[in-house]
A and B are shown apart, each in its own frame.
Chain A
Protein backbone atom coordinates (compact mmCIF):
# COMPACT_ATOMS: atom_id res chain seq x y z
CA UNK A 1 0.00 0.00 0.00
CA UNK A 2 2.83 2.38 0.89
CA UNK A 3 4.31 1.81 -2.55
CA UNK A 4 1.17 2.76 -4.46
CA UNK A 5 -0.27 5.40 -2.11
CA UNK A 6 1.44 8.37 -3.80
CA UNK A 7 0.06 7.27 -7.17
CA UNK A 8 -3.49 6.87 -5.81
CA UNK A 9 -3.27 10.21 -3.99
CA UNK A 10 -2.15 11.88 -7.20
CA UNK A 11 -5.17 10.50 -9.03
CA UNK A 12 -7.53 11.54 -6.23
CA UNK A 13 -5.97 15.01 -6.16
CA UNK A 14 -7.14 15.50 -9.75
CA UNK A 15 -10.70 15.45 -8.49
CA UNK A 16 -10.73 16.90 -4.99
CA UNK A 17 -9.28 20.00 -3.38
CA UNK A 18 -9.52 19.10 0.30
CA UNK A 19 -6.97 16.78 1.86
CA UNK A 20 -9.58 14.98 3.97
CA UNK A 21 -11.69 14.20 0.89
CA UNK A 22 -8.63 13.08 -1.04
CA UNK A 23 -7.73 10.71 1.83
CA UNK A 24 -11.28 9.35 1.98
CA UNK A 25 -11.26 8.75 -1.77
CA UNK A 26 -7.84 7.07 -1.62
CA UNK A 27 -9.05 4.86 1.22
CA UNK A 28 -12.09 3.85 -0.84
CA UNK A 29 -9.77 3.00 -3.73
CA UNK A 30 -7.62 0.69 -1.61
CA UNK A 31 -10.65 -0.99 -0.02
CA UNK A 32 -12.07 -1.64 -3.46
CA UNK A 33 -8.70 -2.90 -4.69
CA UNK A 34 -8.43 -5.33 -1.75
CA UNK A 35 -11.94 -6.61 -2.44
CA UNK A 36 -11.35 -7.04 -6.16
CA UNK A 37 -7.78 -8.27 -5.97
CA UNK A 38 -8.96 -11.67 -7.21
CA UNK A 39 -10.13 -10.11 -10.46
CA UNK A 40 -6.63 -8.82 -11.28
CA UNK A 41 -5.45 -11.16 -14.00
CA UNK A 42 -1.89 -9.92 -14.09
CA UNK A 43 -2.05 -8.96 -17.75
CA UNK A 44 -1.05 -5.34 -17.13
CA UNK A 45 0.90 -3.78 -14.31
CA UNK A 46 -0.61 -3.64 -10.83
CA UNK A 47 -0.04 0.11 -10.85
CA UNK A 48 -2.05 0.50 -14.06
CA UNK A 49 -4.85 -1.63 -12.65
CA UNK A 50 -4.86 0.41 -9.44
CA UNK A 51 -4.83 3.67 -11.41
CA UNK A 52 -7.90 2.60 -13.32
CA UNK A 53 -9.71 1.64 -10.10
CA UNK A 54 -8.67 4.98 -8.57
CA UNK A 55 -9.87 6.96 -11.59
CA UNK A 56 -13.22 5.22 -11.81
CA UNK A 57 -13.81 5.33 -8.06
CA UNK A 58 -13.07 9.06 -7.94
CA UNK A 59 -15.23 9.71 -11.00
CA UNK A 60 -18.13 7.91 -9.31
CA UNK A 61 -17.58 9.82 -6.07
CA UNK A 62 -17.65 13.15 -7.91
CA UNK A 63 -20.70 12.10 -9.92
CA UNK A 64 -22.58 11.16 -6.76
CA UNK A 65 -21.64 14.41 -5.05
CA UNK A 66 -23.92 17.40 -5.00
CA UNK A 67 -24.73 19.61 -8.00
CA UNK A 68 -21.90 21.64 -9.48
CA UNK A 69 -21.70 25.28 -8.42
CA UNK A 70 -21.57 28.19 -10.84
CA UNK A 71 -18.28 30.02 -11.17
CA UNK A 72 -18.72 33.70 -10.53
CA UNK A 73 -16.32 36.60 -10.41
CA UNK A 74 -17.89 37.89 -7.22
CA UNK A 75 -16.90 34.58 -5.61
CA UNK A 76 -13.22 35.39 -6.08
CA UNK A 77 -11.24 36.42 -3.07
CA UNK A 78 -8.86 39.35 -3.20
CA UNK A 79 -5.92 36.97 -3.48
CA UNK A 80 -7.54 35.13 -6.34
CA UNK A 81 -8.33 38.35 -8.13
CA UNK A 82 -4.78 39.49 -7.86
CA UNK A 83 -3.56 36.07 -9.05
CA UNK A 84 -5.78 36.27 -12.13
CA UNK A 85 -4.45 39.73 -12.95
CA UNK A 86 -0.88 38.70 -12.18
CA UNK A 87 -1.23 35.58 -14.26
CA UNK A 88 -2.55 37.46 -17.23
CA UNK A 89 0.38 39.84 -16.96
CA UNK A 90 2.79 36.93 -16.48
CA UNK A 91 1.62 35.30 -19.69
CA UNK A 92 3.15 38.20 -21.52
CA UNK A 93 6.24 38.48 -19.37
CA UNK A 94 6.67 34.68 -18.86
CA UNK A 95 7.39 35.25 -15.20
CA UNK A 96 7.62 32.51 -12.62
CA UNK A 97 5.27 32.47 -9.66
CA UNK A 98 5.86 31.97 -5.99
CA UNK A 99 4.58 28.97 -4.02
CA UNK A 100 1.93 31.03 -2.29
CA UNK A 101 0.40 32.21 -5.54
CA UNK A 102 0.55 28.64 -6.82
CA UNK A 103 -1.65 27.48 -3.96
CA UNK A 104 -4.11 30.28 -4.64
CA UNK A 105 -4.11 29.34 -8.31
CA UNK A 106 -4.60 25.63 -7.59
CA UNK A 107 -7.55 26.47 -5.38
CA UNK A 108 -9.02 28.74 -8.03
CA UNK A 109 -8.46 26.03 -10.66
CA UNK A 110 -10.32 23.61 -8.45
CA UNK A 111 -13.23 25.98 -8.16
CA UNK A 112 -13.41 26.55 -11.89
CA UNK A 113 -13.11 22.81 -12.56
CA UNK A 114 -15.93 22.09 -10.14
CA UNK A 115 -18.28 23.89 -12.50
CA UNK A 116 -17.48 21.26 -15.15
CA UNK A 117 -18.51 17.63 -15.35
CA UNK A 118 -16.27 15.00 -13.69
CA UNK A 119 -15.27 13.65 -17.11
CA UNK A 120 -14.26 17.13 -18.24
CA UNK A 121 -12.28 17.69 -15.05
CA UNK A 122 -10.40 14.45 -15.54
CA UNK A 123 -9.37 14.92 -19.17
CA UNK A 124 -8.42 18.55 -18.67
CA UNK A 125 -6.36 17.90 -15.56
CA UNK A 126 -4.57 15.00 -17.19
CA UNK A 127 -4.05 16.30 -20.72
CA UNK A 128 -3.70 20.05 -20.25
CA UNK A 129 -2.53 20.07 -16.63
CA UNK A 130 -0.22 17.07 -16.41
CA UNK A 131 0.49 17.02 -20.15
CA UNK A 132 -0.48 13.36 -20.33
CA UNK A 133 -1.05 11.76 -23.71
CA UNK A 134 -4.41 10.57 -24.99
CA UNK A 135 -3.13 7.00 -24.60
CA UNK A 136 -2.41 7.57 -20.91
CA UNK A 137 -5.97 8.81 -20.39
CA UNK A 138 -7.25 5.75 -22.25
CA UNK A 139 -5.26 3.50 -19.92
CA UNK A 140 -6.43 5.30 -16.82
CA UNK A 141 -10.11 5.38 -17.70
CA UNK A 142 -10.73 2.52 -20.08
CA UNK A 143 -12.46 4.90 -22.51
CA UNK A 144 -11.87 4.68 -26.25
CA UNK A 145 -9.30 6.96 -27.87
CA UNK A 146 -11.96 8.77 -29.89
CA UNK A 147 -14.03 9.38 -26.77
CA UNK A 148 -11.04 10.94 -25.03
CA UNK A 149 -10.33 13.20 -28.01
CA UNK A 150 -13.93 14.38 -28.27
CA UNK A 151 -14.15 14.80 -24.51
CA UNK A 152 -11.03 16.96 -24.28
CA UNK A 153 -12.12 19.09 -27.25
CA UNK A 154 -15.47 19.83 -25.63
CA UNK A 155 -13.95 20.17 -22.17
CA UNK A 156 -11.48 22.81 -23.36
CA UNK A 157 -14.35 24.79 -24.84
CA UNK A 158 -16.36 24.57 -21.61
CA UNK A 159 -13.34 25.41 -19.45
CA UNK A 160 -12.58 28.39 -21.65
CA UNK A 161 -16.19 29.56 -21.39
CA UNK A 162 -16.04 29.18 -17.59
CA UNK A 163 -12.79 31.17 -17.42
CA UNK A 164 -14.16 33.86 -19.74
CA UNK A 165 -17.17 34.14 -17.47
CA UNK A 166 -14.84 34.31 -14.50
CA UNK A 167 -12.83 37.06 -16.19
CA UNK A 168 -16.00 38.99 -16.99
CA UNK A 169 -15.24 42.41 -15.62
CA UNK A 170 -11.51 41.77 -16.02
CA UNK A 171 -11.82 42.02 -19.80
CA UNK A 172 -9.66 45.16 -20.11
CA UNK A 173 -6.83 43.37 -18.29
CA UNK A 174 -7.18 40.37 -20.57
CA UNK A 175 -7.15 42.51 -23.65
CA UNK A 176 -4.14 44.43 -22.46
CA UNK A 177 -2.32 41.20 -21.75
CA UNK A 178 -3.03 39.78 -25.17
CA UNK A 179 -1.84 42.94 -26.78
CA UNK A 180 1.47 42.66 -24.99
CA UNK A 181 1.61 38.91 -25.74
CA UNK A 182 1.17 39.67 -29.42
CA UNK A 183 4.04 42.11 -29.38
CA UNK A 184 6.35 39.52 -27.85
Chain B
Protein backbone atom coordinates (compact mmCIF):
# COMPACT_ATOMS: atom_id res chain seq x y z
CA UNK B 1 0.00 0.00 0.00
CA UNK B 2 2.96 2.31 0.50
CA UNK B 3 3.10 2.94 -3.26
CA UNK B 4 -0.54 3.87 -3.38
CA UNK B 5 -1.96 7.23 -2.27
CA UNK B 6 -3.99 7.06 0.91
CA UNK B 7 -6.53 9.71 0.05
CA UNK B 8 -9.18 7.13 -0.87
CA UNK B 9 -8.75 5.42 2.49
CA UNK B 10 -9.34 8.73 4.23
CA UNK B 11 -12.55 9.23 2.26
CA UNK B 12 -13.82 5.70 2.70
CA UNK B 13 -13.66 5.37 6.45
CA UNK B 14 -13.54 7.31 9.71
CA UNK B 15 -10.04 7.81 11.06
CA UNK B 16 -11.13 6.34 14.37
CA UNK B 17 -12.14 3.08 12.71
CA UNK B 18 -8.67 2.48 11.24
CA UNK B 19 -6.75 -0.26 12.96
CA UNK B 20 -3.31 0.43 14.41
CA UNK B 21 -1.59 -1.29 11.49
CA UNK B 22 -3.69 0.61 8.92
CA UNK B 23 -2.97 3.88 10.66
CA UNK B 24 0.74 3.10 10.72
CA UNK B 25 0.74 2.41 6.98
CA UNK B 26 -1.22 5.59 6.28
CA UNK B 27 1.14 7.71 8.35
CA UNK B 28 4.17 6.05 6.89
CA UNK B 29 2.95 6.84 3.39
CA UNK B 30 2.11 10.42 4.37
CA UNK B 31 5.69 10.96 5.53
CA UNK B 32 6.97 10.53 2.03
CA UNK B 33 4.09 12.05 0.07
CA UNK B 34 3.38 15.75 0.50
CA UNK B 35 -0.06 15.53 -1.12
CA UNK B 36 -1.20 12.78 1.22
CA UNK B 37 0.45 14.49 4.18
CA UNK B 38 -1.68 17.60 3.81
CA UNK B 39 -4.74 15.42 3.14
CA UNK B 40 -4.10 13.47 6.33
CA UNK B 41 -3.61 16.67 8.32
CA UNK B 42 -6.90 17.99 6.96
CA UNK B 43 -8.59 14.68 7.78
CA UNK B 44 -7.36 14.83 11.40
CA UNK B 45 -8.54 18.41 11.71
CA UNK B 46 -11.91 17.61 10.08
CA UNK B 47 -12.49 14.79 12.54
CA UNK B 48 -11.56 16.99 15.48
CA UNK B 49 -13.82 19.78 14.27
CA UNK B 50 -16.75 17.45 13.73
CA UNK B 51 -16.35 15.89 17.18
CA UNK B 52 -16.31 19.30 18.81
CA UNK B 53 -19.33 20.27 16.83
CA UNK B 54 -21.21 17.11 17.83
CA UNK B 55 -20.31 17.64 21.48
CA UNK B 56 -21.75 21.14 21.48
CA UNK B 57 -25.51 20.82 21.22
CA UNK B 58 -28.09 23.19 22.68
CA UNK B 59 -30.62 22.31 25.35
CA UNK B 60 -34.19 23.60 25.35
CA UNK B 61 -34.89 26.79 27.29
CA UNK B 62 -37.38 26.54 30.21
CA UNK B 63 -40.15 28.30 28.27
CA UNK B 64 -39.72 26.38 25.05
CA UNK B 65 -42.83 24.22 25.50
CA UNK B 66 -44.97 27.27 26.37
CA UNK B 67 -43.71 29.07 23.29
CA UNK B 68 -44.49 26.13 21.00
CA UNK B 69 -47.99 25.69 22.40
CA UNK B 70 -48.71 29.41 22.03
CA UNK B 71 -47.58 29.34 18.40
CA UNK B 72 -49.63 26.22 17.78
CA UNK B 73 -52.80 27.91 19.14
CA UNK B 74 -52.10 31.02 17.07
CA UNK B 75 -51.69 29.00 13.89
CA UNK B 76 -54.80 26.98 14.57
CA UNK B 77 -56.94 30.10 15.07
CA UNK B 78 -55.46 31.62 11.92
CA UNK B 79 -56.30 28.42 10.02
CA UNK B 80 -59.90 28.55 11.34
CA UNK B 81 -60.24 32.16 10.20
CA UNK B 82 -59.08 31.32 6.69
CA UNK B 83 -61.38 28.28 6.64
CA UNK B 84 -64.35 30.52 7.43
CA UNK B 85 -63.22 33.05 4.83
CA UNK B 86 -63.10 30.31 2.22
CA UNK B 87 -66.58 29.13 3.20
CA UNK B 88 -67.94 32.67 2.91
CA UNK B 89 -66.36 33.06 -0.51
CA UNK B 90 -68.00 29.83 -1.71
CA UNK B 91 -71.37 30.89 -0.28
CA UNK B 92 -71.05 34.29 -1.98
CA UNK B 93 -70.44 32.65 -5.33
CA UNK B 94 -73.49 30.43 -4.88
CA UNK B 95 -75.76 33.39 -3.94
CA UNK B 96 -74.48 35.40 -6.91
CA UNK B 97 -75.24 32.53 -9.30
CA UNK B 98 -78.76 32.24 -7.88
CA UNK B 99 -79.37 35.99 -8.22
CA UNK B 100 -78.23 35.95 -11.83
CA UNK B 101 -80.62 33.06 -12.56
CA UNK B 102 -83.57 34.87 -10.94
CA UNK B 103 -82.87 38.11 -12.84
CA UNK B 104 -82.55 36.22 -16.14
CA UNK B 105 -85.87 34.46 -15.56
CA UNK B 106 -87.55 37.76 -14.64
CA UNK B 107 -86.28 39.40 -17.81
CA UNK B 108 -87.45 36.50 -19.97
CA UNK B 109 -90.86 36.51 -18.29
CA UNK B 110 -91.73 40.20 -18.06
CA UNK B 111 -89.57 42.23 -20.39
CA UNK B 112 -89.18 40.24 -23.61
CA UNK B 113 -92.23 41.09 -25.88
CA UNK B 114 -94.71 38.33 -26.51
CA UNK B 115 -94.28 38.48 -30.30
CA UNK B 116 -90.69 37.41 -29.90
CA UNK B 117 -91.82 34.10 -28.46
CA UNK B 118 -92.70 32.74 -31.91
CA UNK B 119 -96.50 32.43 -31.37
CA UNK B 120 -98.71 33.70 -34.18
CA UNK B 121 -100.71 36.40 -32.43
CA UNK B 122 -103.19 36.69 -35.28
CA UNK B 123 -104.30 33.13 -34.75
CA UNK B 124 -104.61 33.58 -31.02
CA UNK B 125 -106.50 36.87 -31.06
CA UNK B 126 -108.60 36.45 -34.23
CA UNK B 127 -110.14 33.06 -33.52
CA UNK B 128 -110.25 31.78 -30.03
CA UNK B 129 -111.55 28.25 -29.44
CA UNK B 130 -114.53 29.58 -27.53
CA UNK B 131 -115.52 31.86 -30.35
CA UNK B 132 -115.24 29.18 -32.98
CA UNK B 133 -116.98 26.35 -31.14
CA UNK B 134 -119.62 28.17 -29.18
CA UNK B 135 -120.17 30.95 -31.66
CA UNK B 136 -120.25 33.53 -28.91
CA UNK B 137 -118.96 36.25 -31.16
CA UNK B 138 -119.69 37.27 -34.59
CA UNK B 139 -117.25 35.61 -36.89
CA UNK B 140 -116.46 37.42 -40.10
CA UNK B 141 -118.28 36.09 -43.12
CA UNK B 142 -115.16 35.14 -44.94
CA UNK B 143 -114.16 32.55 -42.31
CA UNK B 144 -114.60 29.23 -43.94
CA UNK B 145 -114.73 25.66 -42.68
CA UNK B 146 -111.05 25.04 -43.33
CA UNK B 147 -109.98 27.97 -41.17
CA UNK B 148 -112.08 26.64 -38.31
CA UNK B 149 -110.35 23.26 -38.63
CA UNK B 150 -107.02 25.00 -38.71
CA UNK B 151 -107.84 26.78 -35.51
CA UNK B 152 -109.01 23.63 -33.75
CA UNK B 153 -106.55 20.99 -35.07
CA UNK B 154 -103.55 23.00 -36.11
CA UNK B 155 -104.03 22.73 -39.86
CA UNK B 156 -104.22 18.94 -40.14
CA UNK B 157 -105.79 18.73 -43.58
CA UNK B 158 -106.01 14.92 -43.60
CA UNK B 159 -108.37 14.94 -40.62
CA UNK B 160 -110.35 17.75 -42.17
CA UNK B 161 -111.00 15.67 -45.26
User: Footprint of B on A, CB under 8 Å?
Assistant: 1-2, 5-6, 9-10, 12-14, 19, 22-23, 26-27, 30-31, 34, 84, 87-88, 90-91, 97, 102-103, 105-106, 108-110, 112-113, 124-125, 127-131, 153-154, 156-157, 159-161, 163-164, 167, 171, 174-175, 177-179, 181-182, 184
Contact = CB atoms under 8 A, between A and B. Distances in A.
B1 interface: no
A68 B31 CA distance: 34
Given A106-B53, A131-B14, A5 B64 contact: yes
Contacts of A160: 10-11, 39, 42-43, 46
Interface in B41-91: 41-61, 64-65, 67-68, 71-72, 75
B59 A9 contact: yes
A159 B59 contact: no
A153 B41 contact: no
A137 to B, nearest CB: 13
29 contacts: A13-B57, A22-B58, A23-B64, A27-B64, A30-B68, A31-B75, A34-B72, A84-B45, A102-B56, A105-B48, A106-B52, A109-B49, A109-B52, A128-B14, A131-B14, A131-B16, A154-B11, A156-B43, A160-B46, A163-B46, A163-B49, A167-B41, A167-B45, A174-B42, A175-B41, A178-B41, A179-B31, A182-B27, A182-B31
B150 interface: no
Given A1-B65, A34-B72, A128-B14, A108 B41 contact: no
Interface residues of B, number: 42
Contacts of A1: 65, 68
Contacts of A128: 14, 46-47, 50-51
B64 A26 contact: yes
A12 B75 CA distance: 22
Contacts of B50: 109, 124-125, 128-129, 159
A166 to B, nearest CB: 8
Given A9-B60, A156-B46, A178-B41, A27 B67 contact: yes
A106 B38 contact: no
State the main secondary structure of chain A at its contact with B: helix
State the main secondary structure of chain B at its contact with A: helix
Contact of B52 (A30, A105, A124, A184): A105
B40 interface: yes
A23 B41 contact: no
Contacts of A106: 52-53, 55-56
Contact of B39 (A6, A91, A153, A164): A164
Contact of B41 (A2, A5, A6, A177): A177
Contacts of A10: 57
Contacts of B71: 27, 31
A23 B61 contact: yes
A12 to B, nearest CB: 8
B2 interface: no
